[in-house]
Structure formats: C-alpha cells, structure tokens
Amino acid sequence: MEINVGQRLKEIRERLGVSQREIARRSGQSSGAVSAIELGKVSPSVETLKRLLDCLDISLADFFAPEGSSPSSAFFGPDDMIGVPMGLIHYQQVRRAAKNAPLQFVHVVVQPGSDTGNVGNPVGTDEVGYILLGEVEATINGETRILRAGSGYMAKGGQKQRFRNVSKSRCEYVFVTAAIGF
C-alpha cells in the first residue's frame, strides 16, 4: 500500500479546518507550493513536509500511520507495509504501527543525491537505526559520520538529524522510533 503524500496532507489539513493559505503562512511556504504538493505536482522534501506537519501539530510517524486500523495478527508481510515515496527517498512503515503507537518501525531506501534536510523527532521520542546496504552521510546533533552497512546510529528526541546519500549507490537502512517510558 502506498500513501499519496499530497492527498494525505490535504485530507488532514481540511479535517483540522486549516486553509492552504494559513498552513503556507505558518510554515514559510507559498500557497502555490502547498497547492502543488497537495495536487501531487511536486514531492516535498522530508524537511518541508516536517515543517508543514509541525504547523498541524502532527508528527511524521503519525502522518504515515494508518487511520483507525488495529492489528488482527501479531505477524505481518510485505502487504502490511505502507509505502511513502518522497522524491529520491522511499519509506516503508509497518502498518501495524498504529497512530500514536509508542513504537514505529521504518525501512528506508535512499537513492544517490537524496537529502532529508534537517529533521528530528519530538523530545521524548528516541530513534535508533541500522544500515543494511550501502552508505549514507548522517549528521546528528551537529556531528557528521559516513555510516556503512553494519553500522548504526541513535538520535535522542529533539536532536536535529540529516541523512544524505553522497555515494553513487543506493542505501537501505531501518530505524525504530520509541517514545521514552512506554
């Protein structure tokens, strides 16, 4: 299952009663840019999407989580993943990770030239990741490293993160976000 980022953004924005003009003003985007994202004419960077969602008080994890679905089984397969294409980055989230769940599991494929921009998790939500294939440049809390297959990272909630694929090959990694104290 794939999520249409623009369509989902529009549905949430309208459900919350926020106009395109208002979310554009709050996020520092133009109304035309917000409209182009919602119509699927452009794919926002992770950083831009995060800015828009912050204006709606929605986390990236909650944005990607399915509405009102509760797991009927403890097991999942490829059909139970939610695909979220965002330009050169493709996220796949386990569908079982329901809205407001304390734990989110995500598989990420990043193509050469991709860049998340500066993003981060809310304070109280830590993230740990593991590189499966290739390499990625990771900057967490101002420290930059090249992470290769077999290495990992941990980012505390509130720390800025940026992931860039500066190599000529794709990179794949997985990460888990967890609310502290669940």
Supply the pLDDT for residue 182.
Answer: 42
DSSP state of 95: T
Distance CA 24, CA 104 (A): 28
Percent of the chain with pLDDT over 90: 35
Distance CA 111, CA 88 (A): 5
pTM greater than 0.75:
no
Per the structure block, which two tokens stand in for 131? 């590189």
More confident residue, 73 or 7: 7
Q: Where are the domains of the chain?
A: 5-58, 72-179
Q: Does domain 72-179 fall into CATH 2.60.120.10?
A: yes
Token pair 């993160």: residue: 161
Q: What's the pLDDT band for 50 if we cut at 50, 70, 90?
A: confident
Residue-wise pLDDT for 137-166, tens only, equals 999 999 999 999 999 999 998 899 999 999
Assigned superfamily of 5-58: lambda repressor-like DNA-binding domains (1.10.260.40)
Q: How far apart are CA 115 and CA 166, in angstroms?
A: 9
